């Protein structure tokens, strides 16, 4: 009962906000050596109040050699350090590209559990010709909304004038209902680390 109440309390902040700022923690080890440690994030609302912390669970070998295709578990914790959401992705054997979204050995899928142990939905990589596409589904595999990536993803130290936007699309496949945008982190952050910041609206 206590664990269940903690989970409910931890998600109450989601009801009162339509904006999130997700900041990945920088790593001095990565800046100096190029080795990418497991990612850690802080998630804030529009008023810069901390809502959640998140950390990645993955193997050193997969982070080095499998990069974006690696197996991982993302634990999202409330401010009382209770795990309220768990996101799990399996290892895939090929790189993520627009055309391989229907190939089972390449298709990315992230399973969402809340509370941990109870599947509430998934994010699924879809095939497309020229940009990343994802479908968000509920626990019954019903399509709830989509995400469409930009034609060209801006990244690196010289991307200051270009912020990559992933549009969130309603069930009609056309109406834009929100967006996820990568924020430019500054020359040193972009050049020497993989730490990124995002807004979700």
Query: What CATH code is carried by the domain that includes residue 55?
Result: 3.20.90
Q: Which residue has the tokens 């469409």?
A: 148
How far apart CA 140 and CA 130 sit, in angstroms, is 29
- Tell whether 146 is covered by a domain: yes
Q: How confident is the model at residue 62 (pLDDT cuts 50, 70, 90)?
A: confident
Report pLDDT digits (tens) over 145-199. 999 988 766 665 555 566 678 999 998 888 999 999 887 655 555 555 456 788 9
How many Å apart are CA 158 and CA 142, to the nearest integer? 40
**Would you state the pLDDT for residue 187?**
54
Let me know: does 191 contact 156? Beta carbons within 8 Å. yes
Would residue 2 count as lying in a domain? no
How far is it, in rounded angstroms, from Cα 20 to Cα 42? 10
Per the model's pLDDT, the better-predicted residue between 83 and 101 turns out to be 83
Band of pLDDT at residue 97, cut at 50, 70 and 90:
low
Residue range of the domain that includes 157: 17-200
Sign of the CA dihedral 143, 145, 149, 151? Answer: positive
Using CA of residue 116, residue 120, residue 122, residue 123, what is the dihedral sign? Answer: negative
C-alpha dihedral, 31 to 35 to 39 to 42, nearest 10°: -10
Query: Into how many domains does the chain fold?
Result: 1
**Residue range 43-72: average pLDDT?**
89
Average pLDDT of the segment spanning 119-148: 90
pTM over 0.75, yes/no: yes
Residue 8 domain flag? no
Residue 61 lies in a domain: yes
Top pLDDT among 57 and 68 is at 57
Residue 183's pLDDT is 75
Query: Is position 144 within any domain?
Result: yes
Query: Which pLDDT band, with edges at 50, 70 and 90, does 1 fall under?
Result: very low
- Contact partners, residue 17, CB within 8 Å, separation at least 6: 45, 46, 51
User: Which of 28-32, 52-56, 134-138, 177-181 is the least confident region?
Assistant: 28-32
């Amino acid at each position: 009962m206590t664990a269940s109440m903690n989970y409910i309390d931890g998600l109450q902040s989601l009801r009162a906000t339509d904006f999130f700022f997700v900041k990945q923690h920088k790593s001095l080890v990565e800046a100096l050596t190029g080795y990418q440690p497991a990612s850690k994030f802080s998630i804030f609302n529009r008023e810069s109040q901390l809502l959640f912390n998140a950390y990645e669970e993955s193997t050193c070998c997969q982070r080095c050699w499998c990069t974006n295709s690696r197996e991982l578990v993302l634990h999202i914790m409330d401010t009382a350090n209770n795990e309220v959401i768990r996101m799990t992705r399996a290892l895939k054997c090929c790189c993520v590209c627009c055309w391989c979204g229907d190939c089972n050995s390449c298709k990315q899928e992230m399973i969402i559990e809340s509370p941990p142990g109870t599947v509430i939905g998934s994010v699924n990589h879809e095939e497309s010709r020229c940009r990343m596409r994802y479908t968000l589904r509920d626990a019954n595999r019903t399509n709830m909304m989509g995400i469409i990536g930009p034609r060209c993803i801006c990244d690196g130290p010289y991307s200051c004038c270009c912020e990559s936007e992933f549009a969130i699309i309603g069930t009609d496949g056309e109406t834009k209902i929100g967006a996820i945008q990568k924020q430019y982190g500054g020359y040193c952050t972009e050049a020497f680390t993989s730490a990124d910041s995002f807004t979700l609206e």
